Amino acid sequence: MRIHPVRATSEAALRDWQHVHNLIIPTAVLSLEEVRERSARHVLHIAHLGDTLVGCMTVRPPAPGSTTATVIARVLPEYRQRGFGRELYAYGLTQARDLGAEVIETVVLASNPEGLNFARRAGFMEFDRYVLPGDTVPFVDLRLT
């Protein structure tokens, strides 16, 4: 069975996106208001398998004058290793390219070895690490080669 990505525009979808994000990125928990603000700048999707929420995705479109977009696919732990991340990432990659992206980056929390391994297997190479103010776990920036 394949996942079904849906753009997160309704309040319920934004809450679902928030739930997945906050579970997978506990060091950078977002309020619903922050998610609403983010949805005005980025393309947010949630992914279902039937009626079950399995993940979320963010596409940060290229900034004016840039051709670099960021695609972030997140799959809930209990649904990993089933190909859903590949499906969600492929969907996000298409979205990013439709928005004019020629260079694709992603961001993974360093404490998520499954996410880092997924990104590396998908052809991403690390180019930066940084820690947000007040945090201790670095984020890892990777670029598709």
Asked if residues 108 and 139 have their Cβ atoms less than 8 Å apart, the reply is yes
Mean per-residue pLDDT of the chain: 94
Q: In the predicted model, is pLDDT for residue 119 greater than 70? A: yes
62-82 residue pLDDT tens: 999 999 999 999 999 999 989
Q: Which residues contact 12 (CB under 8 A, 6 or more apart)?
A: none
Closest CA to 21 of 3, 8, 40, 4: 8
For residue 64, the model assigns a pLDDT of 94
4-58 residue pLDDT tens: 899 999 999 999 999 999 999 988 899 999 999 999 999 999 999 999 999 999 9
Compute the distance between CA of residue 38 and CA of residue 30 in angstroms, rounded to an integer: 10
Asked if residues 14 and 31 have their Cβ atoms less than 8 Å apart, the reply is no
Pick the CATH number of 4-104 from 3.40.50.300, 3.40.630.30, 3.40.50.460, 3.90.470.10: 3.40.630.30
CA 30 to centroid of chain Cα atoms: 14
- Map out the domains of the chain as residue ranges: 4-104
Q: Which residues pair with 144 in a beta bridge?
A: 124
Using a CB cutoff of 8 Å and minimum separation of 24, what contacts does 26-34 make?
A: 27/109, 27/111, 27/132, 27/135, 27/136, 27/137, 28/132, 28/135
Asked if residues 138 and 104 have their Cβ atoms less than 8 Å apart, the reply is no
Q: In the predicted model, is pLDDT for residue 1 greater than 70? A: no
Q: Which residues contact 119 (CB under 8 A, 6 or more apart)?
A: 106, 108, 142
For residue 51, the model assigns a pLDDT of 92
pTM, full prediction: 0.92
